[in-house]
């Protein structure tokens, strides 16, 4: 009796999703961006491609962490051979470093624009363009109308968009499908070895449409995301020496 009840609920949930305006975007269910159990937070347990994701950060350090997380997702998007467009006010990304996130830096086209308005225009045009793997926009202020325009552009072309907002004036409502916040977490090497370890982040999924927000700690190890147990926030007092 219990199982049948769960089945009914699952079926009903699946029926509700399209009614809520959720479209199954992926024809290919094998499309996996390698985020492990994090994908359970999304409807149908797949990372939504062909949508706009919003990332918040408050400092340059967190912006770098966000870039790292986005690059990690991007690496699996770009693997299929697509190109990627990165729109920003001035390039802060160090192209050679992208290689360690599994991205060929020469496959990325950087567009540096001064005005927010031009950035939004370029981002919308880019998102309309079929065949691009992803578009990343370092857009500080994103109004609800702007975000809706981006979302509409994406629904036609199925391009994935990432809006990276560093230090926005206000955190307003947007039409983006998710809202993330990535922060750095102290790294740890196995066996208490000295030195800086693999990049480690605290991933906060603040909002997700038709899904369950959550919090995870992950590490980028040899080209893959790896879930780690939330570490104790005890700070080792002694500085570790290096060779």
**Using CB under 8 A, which residues numbered 5 to 34 contact other proteins?**
none
Give CA separation, 207 vs 74, 175, 181, in Å.
Answer: 20, 11, 10
- Rounded Cα–Cα distance for residues 30 and 219 (Å): 23
Binding mask 47-66 for other proteins (x = CB under 8 A): -------------xx-xxx-
In this structure, what are the phi and psi dihedrals at residue 73, rounded to the nearest 5 degrees? -70, -40
Given the complex with other proteins, which of 21 and 236 has the nearer CB atom? 236
Given the complex with other proteins, which of 113 and 208 has the nearer CB atom? 113
Q: Are 186 and 16 in contact (CB under 8 A)?
A: no
* Exposure b/e, 73-102, CB count within 10 A at least 16 = b: bbbbbbeeeeebbbbbeeeebeeeebeebb
Tell the smallest beta-carbon distance from residue 148 to other proteins (Å): 21
Question: How many residues at the interface with other proteins, by CB under 8 A?
Answer: 65
**117 touches other proteins by CB under 8 A:** no
Tell the smallest beta-carbon distance from residue 50 to other proteins (Å): 15
**95 touches other proteins by CB under 8 A:** yes
**Using CB under 8 A, which residues numbered 145 to 204 contact other proteins?**
183-187, 194-197, 199-201
CB contact set of 93 (below 8 Å; sequence gap of 6+) = 67, 86, 110
Q: Which of 184, 220, 188, 189 is nearest to 201 (CA)?
A: 184
The contact set with other proteins (CB under 8 A) reads 60-61, 63-65, 67-69, 71, 80-83, 85, 90-101, 104-113, 118, 121-122, 125-126, 129-133, 183-187, 194-197, 199-201, 220, 235-236, 239-242
């Amino acid at each position: 009796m219990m199982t049948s009840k769960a089945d009914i609920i699952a079926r009903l949930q699946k029926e509700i999703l399209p009614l809520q305006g959720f479209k199954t975007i992926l024809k290919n269910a094998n499309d996996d961006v390698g985020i492990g159990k994090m994908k359970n937070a999304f409807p149908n347990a797949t990372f939504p491609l062909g949508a706009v994701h919003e990332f918040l950060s408050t400092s340059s350090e967190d912006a770098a962490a966000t870039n790292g997380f986005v690059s990690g997702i991007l690496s699996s998007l770009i693997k299929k051979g697509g190109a990627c467009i990165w729109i920003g006010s001035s390039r802060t990304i160090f192209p050679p470093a992208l290689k360690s996130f599994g991205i060929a830096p020469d496959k990325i086209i950087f567009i540096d624009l001064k005005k927010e308005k031009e950035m939004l225009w370029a981002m919308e045009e880019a998102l309309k363009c079929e065949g691009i793997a992803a578009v990343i926009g370092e857009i500080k202020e994103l109004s609800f109308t702007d975000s809706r325009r981006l979302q509409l552009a994406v629904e036609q072309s199925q391009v994935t968009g990432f809006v990276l907002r560093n230090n926005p004036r206000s955190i307003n409502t947007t039409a983006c499908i998710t809202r993330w916040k990535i922060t750095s977490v102290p790294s740890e090497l196995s066996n208490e070895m000295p030195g800086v370890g693999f990049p480690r982040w605290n991933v906060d999924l603040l909002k997700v449409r038709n899904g369950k927000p959550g919090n995870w700690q992950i590490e980028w190890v040899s080209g893959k995301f790896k879930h780690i147990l939330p570490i104790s926030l005890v700070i080792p007092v002694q500085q570790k020496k290096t060779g």
